[in-house]
Chains A and B, each alone.
Chain A
Amino acid sequence: MTDVHPDDGQLLALALDEADGGSRDSTLQHLTSCHRCRGEYDALSATVEQTLAAAPSVEPSPGFDARVLGAMGLDPTGPVKVSERSRRVRPGRHRWQLVAASVAAGLAVGVGGSYAVSQLDDTPQQSTLAEDRSLLETPDGDRVGSVTRTLMDGEPVYVVTVTTGPVGMNYLCLLRLEDGKQIEVADWVLHSERGETWVIDVPAQDVSELVMVANGGAGPVWSTARL
């Protein structure tokens, strides 16, 4: 056993997976033979792990489960089978290097209650999600995002995800109601070319369409989603 015990900061860094190479190796070496430090580290590490469940649940994009099952070599729509694990394709870590465009989570500051993206219904049935999801399209028919109706804290919300659009543009978000009226629900700026996601409360009235109007509402209509 090394004579010098790691300090609190070193144990914390190791438990949080932020220790650098040299410190990490020496601390791990020490822990193999020092029961006192090992106990303290195990307690910190277990606490970190058990706190992870507090993370907000967020529904991934449609088809995510199928992609995962495909990566496992399983066909989610195919017949139930028990296959040989060794026959499956197993992508390596280099898969991550291939990631290109992506969408960043964002924050909405709107009227009538809007939230940062973070807490979505984790209903496991994909078909249910698909039924509640509408495409956000430009007048030219380009798909620029989606609007999903889901639940947050038991209350219905629309999750508005913009996957592409002019950065820096200010959008006024309107909800058109079945009775022909419309209400302004939020005023957003797209900060990243990778897109953003916002959450807005579903009003009591029946809604027919969500409209994003460019230039803070001065127009033109940038995109719409039939709800």
Chain B
Amino acid sequence: MGVLSLADRAADVALVEGLAVDDQLAAVAFVRRFQSAVFGLAVSITRDTGLAEDVSQEVFVRAWRAAGSYDRRKASVLTWLLTITRNAAIDVVRTRRPIAVEDELLDALILGTLSGSDVEDVTLLRVESDLARARLRLLPPEQARAVVLAVIGGCTASEVSSRENIPLGTAKTRIRNGLIKLRAAMKEEETSD
């Protein structure tokens, strides 16, 4: 498992800094570098590629507006961008319609998230994704599923309860306990670096 190199992190930050001053080359590189990650999360939450593309476009516009206030000490560029994505996607989906809890699509999401890496080149995106997936695989399967559904699928605890056919309280407990274990794994990574 790799660690986040300073060079990779600096490269991403440089793109954001370029975006903040309207550097056209930086903007092009920024969008092309992150579009798959942004769109992937957007489609995971919306389960609708047309809507996901619209959300993704809005995410990049929001990032462009906020580039000047990006703080590298708080989060990596990928995490910052995906947080914007999750907020935007959930915002849109929950104001437009109830989220359909299609078994096949959510099964696919869980499978896709908990399986191996999905990019060929060794980049910061790949390392961050690998780390996040590796942490999820440390969880008991039922907790990992609940966390994936809630965090990456954008499902409410009630929807997780319905999808997993478990009481609401159990769904909340699985999500929360899963997140607590993930947090512990992150701390362990920090201390071992």
B152 lies within 8 A of chain A by Cβ: yes
B174 to chain A, nearest CB (A): 11
B116 touches A153 (CB 8 A): yes
Q: How far is the CB of B19 from chain A (nearest CB, A)?
A: 9
- By the criterion CB–CB under 8 Å, are A151 and B37 in contact? no
Q: Determine the chain A residues whose CB is within 8 A of the CB of B136 once the complex forms.
A: 51, 54
- One of A52, A81, A106, A126 near B105 (C-beta < 8 A): A106
- Give the distance in Å from the alpha carbon of A96 to the alpha carbon of B56 in the complex: 11
Among B25, B35, B86, B151, which residue has its beta carbon within 8 angstroms of that of A68?
Answer: B35
B-side interface mostly: helix
Q: Which residues of A contact B118 (CB under 8 A)?
A: 56-57, 118-122, 152-153
Assess whether B50 is in contact with A194, with CB atoms less than 8 Å apart: yes
Is A67 close to B, CB under 8 A?
yes
> Whole-angstrom distance from the CB of A83 to the nearest CB of chain B?
5
The verdict on A53 contacting B132 (CB below 8 Å), with A16-B151, A119-B118 known, is yes
Contact, CB under 8 Å: B112 / A118: yes
B27 and A72 contact, CB distance less than 8 A? yes
Cβ of A205 within 8 Å of any chain B Cβ, yes or no, is: no
Q: Is the interface of A mostly helix, strand, loop or mixed?
A: loop
Contact status B119-A122, CB under 8 Å: yes
Known: A64-B53, A121-B36. 4 other contacts (CB 8 A): A9-B172, A53-B128, A56-B113, A101-B50
Q: Which A residues fall within an 8 A CB radius of B?
A: 8-9, 12-13, 15-18, 43-44, 46-61, 64-65, 67-69, 71-72, 74-76, 78, 80-85, 90-91, 93, 95-96, 99-107, 115-126, 151-154, 194, 197
Q: List 5 A-B contacts (CB under 8 A).
A: A53-B78, A64-B53, A80-B25, A96-B58, A101-B50
List the 10 closest A-B pairs by CB distance, nearest first: A102-B50, A116-B108, A118-B112, A122-B36, A119-B118, A54-B132, A124-B32, A52-B82, A56-B112, A57-B36
